[in-house]
């Protein structure tokens, strides 16, 4: 069992548990972007979004809402980011599907997106055509 999240789920590694049920575990991120940054993960090892079944994704969305409400109410923040880094190129460090819930304050200095890019003439249509292809 090389997956660090599977080791945490099995109890072989310690973690600050925020939420725990039969299917999911939410823990504090040990290297948080901001205080209160947590990770929600399925207990079943699933590497990425494509490997997850629709029921798991729906259950995770319901838990994100529950945990997000806890962040707002209990930490007194006005909002939070929900992020999945899907694949190494997207910044996924642990190959076990997980959602980052990151509490936010106005003017906290975090910038989740770089400056927007513009499409060249005709480029959007080309990309759109590729995305519409089965």
Quote the Cα angle for 33-101-59, to 5°: 155
The whole-number pLDDT of residue 28 equals 98
- Is the backbone of residue 93 left (phi > 0), alpha (psi -120 to 50) or beta? alpha
Kindly report the number of other CB atoms within 10 A of residue 33's CB atom.
16
* Residue 89, domain CATH: 3.30.428.10
pTM of the predicted protein model: 0.92
pLDDT in tens, 21-69: 999 999 999 999 999 999 999 999 999 999 999 999 999 999 999 999 9
Residue 112 has pLDDT above 90, yes or no: no
Per the structure, how many domains does the chain have? 1
- 44-48, 103-107, 116-120: the lowest-pLDDT one: 116-120
Expressed as residue numbers, the domain containing 97 is: 4-132
**Residues 37, 96, 98, 100: which is the catalytic one?**
98
> Catalytic: 98?
yes
């Amino acid at each position: 069992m090389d997956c660090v999240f599977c080791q945490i789920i099995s109890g072989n590694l310690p973690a600050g548990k925020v939420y725990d049920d039969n299917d999911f575990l939410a823990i504090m991120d040990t290297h948080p972007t901001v205080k209160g940054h947590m990770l929600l993960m399925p207990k079943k090892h699933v590497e990425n979004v494509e490997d997850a079944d629709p029921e798991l994704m729906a259950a995770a969305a319901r838990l994100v809402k529950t945990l997000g409400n806890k962040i707002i109410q209990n930490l007194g923040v006005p909002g939070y980011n929900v992020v999945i880094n899907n694949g190494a190129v997207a910044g996924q460090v642990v190959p076990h599907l997980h959602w980052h819930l990151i509490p936010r304050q106005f003017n906290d200095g975090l910038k989740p997106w770089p400056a927007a890019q513009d499409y060249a003439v005709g480029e959007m249509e080309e990309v759109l055509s590729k995305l519409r292809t089965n």
